[in-house]
């Protein structure tokens, strides 16, 4: 029987170097003892992930989900073919509709992916509501996270659906999947299997969790990697 640990990176796995080092040792043991698959799930592009990997002591994952779920890479760095399956996606149409929006700033080219259009928007819920209204006739989903990142994705393509694709490939049941996150773009992932919200999770995410009244969501008190460790104890993996 295999298990899967899927975790966001920034301010979830990464953020406390001492706790990360301790957790890395525990994950290494679990990979042998419990046949644990380790998956990093991030909004970063593969390029920005590599820069983080060079800066932090990260274990080599069994798979890497980047660009808010629109790209899946195997442990050898190869892109999973056939993902995502979508039709009608046209990033030029999206960019044209959003061109000229006040306070909406295009993210760097490295973060503009084949199936992701990304912007910065600082604490502006009104403009975000207008953006969603502008794009409502398209087959897309729009994610606003940490009050600064706007991502437009094909509908049904996100961190959660990418994770389910991997679980299917590896034949890991949802009951054996543990997910960890801290912000709004983790919601689809945290809806899969058993979830851990680290202690420093955004208040909007904590509110979402409390409103779900879901027995499969654990709100850790410890922050970052220490919160993941706490969650693994709660769910019985440690």
- The pLDDT tens digits of the residues spanning 114-132 come to 999 999 999 999 999 999 9
Ramachandran angles phi, psi of 4, nearest 5°: -135, 130
Alpha carbons 116 and 70: distance in angstroms, whole number: 7
pLDDT at 203: 95
Q: What is the pLDDT of residue 63?
A: 98
Q: Which two tokens stand for residue 1?
A: 């029987």
Distance of CA 101 to the CA centre of its chain: 26
pLDDT for position 213 = 76
Residue 68: the pLDDT is 96
Please state whether 195 falls in left (phi above 0), alpha (psi between -120 and 50) or beta.
beta
H-helix or E-strand containing 218? Answer: strand 217-219
Please give the pLDDT value at position 26: 98
CATH number for the domain running over 3-82+157-234: 3.40.50.1000
For the chain, percent of residues with pLDDT exceeding 70 = 100
pTM above threshold 0.85: yes
CA 229 to chain centre: 18
pLDDT greater than 90 at residue 104: yes
Per-residue pLDDT of 54-91, as tens digits, reads 999 899 999 999 999 999 999 999 999 999 999 889 99
**pLDDT confidence of residue 41:** 98
Which ranges of the chain would DSSP assign to H, the alpha helix? Answer: 17-33, 46-55, 91-98, 125-134, 159-170, 187-190, 203-212, 224-234
Q: Is the pLDDT of residue 113 over 90?
A: yes
The predicted model gives 134-155 an average pLDDT of 95
Q: What is the pLDDT of residues 152-196, one digit of tens each?
A: 999 999 999 999 999 999 999 999 999 999 999 999 999 999 999
Q: Where in the chain is the domain with CATH 3.90.1070.10?
A: 91-154
Cβ neighbours of residue 159 under 8 Å, at least 6 residues apart? 41, 65, 68, 69, 185, 186, 188, 189
Specify the CATH number of the domain 91-154.
Answer: 3.90.1070.10
pLDDT at 87: 86
CA 74 vs. chain centroid, Å, equals: 16
Mean pLDDT of the chain: 96
Burial class (CB within 10 angstroms; exposed 0-12, middle 13-18, buried 19+) of 114 = exposed
**What mean pLDDT is predicted for residues 194-199?**
98
Residue 119 pairs with which residues in a beta bridge? Answer: 106, 150
- pLDDT greater than 80 at residue 150: yes
Tell me where in the chain the CATH 3.40.50.1000 domain(s) lie. 3-82+157-234
């Amino acid at each position: 029987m295999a298990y899967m640990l899927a975790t966001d990176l920034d301010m979830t796995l990464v953020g406390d170097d001492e706790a990360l080092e301790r957790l890395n040792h525990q994950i290494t043991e679990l990979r042998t003892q419990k046949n644990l698959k380790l998956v990093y799930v991030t909004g970063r592009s593969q390029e920005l992930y590599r820069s983080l990997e060079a800066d932090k002591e990260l274990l080599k994952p069994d798979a890497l989900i980047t660009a808010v779920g629109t790209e899946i890479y195997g442990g050898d760095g190869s892109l999973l073919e056939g993902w995502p399956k979508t039709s009608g996606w046209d990033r030029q149409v999206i960019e044209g509709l959003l061109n000229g929006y006040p306070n909406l700033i295009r993210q760097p080219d490295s973060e503009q992916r084949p199936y992701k259009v990304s912007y910065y928007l600082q604490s502006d819920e009104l403009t975000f509501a207008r953006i969603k209204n502008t794009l409502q006739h398209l087959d897309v989903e729009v994610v606003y996270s940490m009050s600064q990142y706007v991502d437009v994705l094909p509908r049904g393509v996100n961190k959660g659906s990418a994770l389910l694709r991997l679980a299917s490939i590896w034949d890991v049941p949802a009951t054996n999947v543990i997910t960890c996150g801290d912000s709004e773009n983790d919601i689809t992932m945290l809806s899969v299997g058993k979830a851990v919200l680290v202690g420093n999770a955004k208040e909007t995410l904590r509110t979402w969790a409390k409103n779900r009244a879901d027995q499969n969501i654990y709100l850790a008190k410890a922050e970052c990697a220490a919160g993941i460790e706490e969650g693994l104890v709660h769910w019985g993996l440690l």
